[in-house]
Structure 1
Amino acid sequence: MDIKWLEDFLSLVRTRNFSRSAQDRHVTQSALSRRIQALEAWVGADLVDRSTYPLSLTPAGKLFSASATEAMRLLNDTRAMLRVKETGDDVLRVSAGHALSLNFFPTWLNSVQAWYGPLRARILPANVHDAVLALVEGNCDLLLCYHHAELPVELDPKRFEYRVVGFETLMPVSIANRAGSAAFALPGSKTAPLPYLAFTATSYFGRAVRHIQSRVDQPACLQTCQESDLAELLKTMALAGQGLAWLPDSCIAAELAAGRLVRAGGEAWTMRLEIRLFRAIDHRKPMLDKLWDNLGR
């Protein structure tokens, strides 16, 4: 039995709506439904009466709801106590995507320490979904993530607040040809599609690149040859001349400056992203409050 199944069920108890609970739990409605069914299989009884709207709990569901609520309270209280012992109130736990963890966080932390003083921090690299979930479930103090109006990170403003701490440009790049221009320049052609080093479709950058491509007048002619969730891996392949890749500028600043990579398209092929820092409004500890207050000045 996965503890997430209990959390899913208790969310459903609160909302009485699969769609709203799926949003609250940051999963698809079908995934939430499968997890509730898995919990029912583990319990050995139907917990939710799906024939009513809004849905209701079966007698077994009502009984199990009380036990699950108490079990989660005990688990969360114990977890909170152990976290204080393990990390202490003087350790800042930051969940962030892999690209931000590698390329933005170290520089940002140095700038914070310049006015805050020495600061113990624990970075928790993850994909966007897991990073957001870490904040929602209280497994970190701060979430560092990208944001764009067309690709928002949807967190309840009544529960979470944010600061904008930087900006990033996602741009297409490739190695240079002998003339110094991009060896794989957009948009390509149907007779000679460009070899494409792609982010996976479900990743944040993958969705961002799809949005970029949807808004340009002339579609790109690309042939995917490699896929990855990791910007650093795609950068390595781009440097090896294996194709064109969209990459965040913090990841490729040194390579652009040295001419080892060049831009493979104009401004229409780029996207400007905010870098946001989120915190739970009700999560309080002195060092976090001091940091947050200073970031707002």
Structure 2
Amino acid sequence: MDMSWFEDVLTLLEERNMTRAADRRNITQPAFSRRIRSFEEWLGVEVLDRKANRIEISPALSTNEEEIRSLIAHLNELRTKISQHDPAESVVGIAAPHASIYSTFPDMALRARSTFKGIRFRVRAANLSDCVSLFLRGDTDILLCYEASSVGSMQFGSGVRRELWGHDYLIPVVGGVLRYAVRDNHDVPLDTPAIVYPENSYFGEVLNKSQCQFGTANFSSNPVCQTAFSSGAKEMILGGLGVGWLPFSMVHREIESGELIALSNGFGRVALDVAIYAHRHIEIAEQLVDFWTSRPKSSQ
């Protein structure tokens, strides 16, 4: 099949005349007629009613004029994309839990755009299990997530690459009026209200395995709210609703300003890796991982 046949047919539909259509296509009328005949042979249906002294266009062709026009436009766009492909102009899909998007992704995106000028990102935020599903289905090119040694890293096949962006850690913090309950040793009473994680969430599983006070309902005597949404938990903690655990990178500014008080001296902290998973067959994903993991990151 010759794709130029569709342009011939569209010209014929616009001109409604074989001679004028042939002139627009810069070929003779007999040559144009042969190309239309070749299109009919490929299609298996005649699109012209060749009557004595006149030629009429089949209604089946006329009613599909817009589809033919759209097909030609799509093919031209595809040809341009292939011939002028530049990975740096790509749209990269990233699946990441809310905490990773809030605390890590902005810095990663800024660094990437300093080198990959035209790159754009499509971020899909969800809980970790849904993020993994999005990534494995191929709906995203990259998976960004936190990982703790107590739970271990995820195991994918050889077609997936794992690298580290950096390190972080979960710490217990308190804000609002509850700051005044903090003792000199950065301890608080065990009946202090808490914002806890569900046990089936990733942070909930990590804190449960480490038996962290105030981390989940299992280790809190006064859980006032349970949520896997770290950004929402942060706002509640800042408001003084309860003590809770958050990634340090998410709260270090508030700790420096005094809006939040870290309780890690009394209740410990949990080390986290910031992991990047990428599909090896996606060129721009590989390039981004190379770039992100070869440059120095700010300490966390």
Tell me the TM-score normalized by structure 2. 0.60
Q: Distance in 1 between matches of 2:95 and 2:257?
A: 31
Tell me the equivalent position of 2:274: 275
Tell me the equivalent position of 1:261: 260
Structure 1 residue 150: Cα displacement:
1.4
Residues 221 and 201 of structure 1: CA distance in aligned 2, closer, same or farther (over 3 Å): closer
Q: Distance in 1 between matches of 2:139 and 2:97?
A: 15
Tell me the equivalent position of 1:291: 288
AA partner of residue 171 (structure 1): I
Q: Distance in 1 between matches of 2:97 and 2:120?
A: 19
Structure 1 residue 220: Cα displacement:
5.7
Structure 1 residue 238: Cα displacement:
1.2
Aligned match for 1:209, one of 207, 210, 214: 207
Conservation of the 8 A alpha-carbon contact between 1:177 and 1:183: no
Conservation of the 8 A alpha-carbon contact between 1:213 and 1:269: no
Q: Structure 2 unaligned runs (5+)?
A: 1-77, 295-300
**Percent identity at matched positions?**
21
Q: Does 1:237 align with 2:202?
A: no
Tell me the equivalent position of 1:194: 192
Tell me the equivalent position of 1:149: 149
Tell me the equivalent position of 1:227: 226
AA partner of residue 205 (structure 1): F
Conservation of the 8 A alpha-carbon contact between 1:188 and 1:222: no
Structure 1 residue 222: Cα displacement:
3.0
Structure 1 residue 290: Cα displacement:
2.5
Q: Distance in 1 between matches of 2:194 and 2:212?
A: 16
Tell me the TM-score normalized by structure 1. 0.61
Structure 1 residue 196: Cα displacement:
1.2
Q: Distance in 1 between matches of 2:268 and 2:179?
A: 22
Bigger radius of gyration: 2
Q: Distance in 1 between matches of 2:258 and 2:293?
A: 37
Q: Distance in 1 between matches of 2:131 and 2:183?
A: 36
- Give the number of aligned pairs: 205
Structure 1 residue 209: Cα displacement:
1.6
Residues 258 and 290 of structure 1: CA distance in aligned 2, closer, same or farther (over 3 Å): same
Q: Structure 1 unaligned runs (5+)?
A: 1-80
Residue 158 of structure 1 aligns to a residue whose secondary structure is coil
Residue 194 of structure 1 aligns to a residue whose secondary structure is coil
Residue 273 of structure 1 aligns to a residue whose secondary structure is strand
Residues 295 and 239 of structure 1: CA distance in aligned 2, closer, same or farther (over 3 Å): closer
Conservation of the 8 A alpha-carbon contact between 2:113 and 2:119: yes
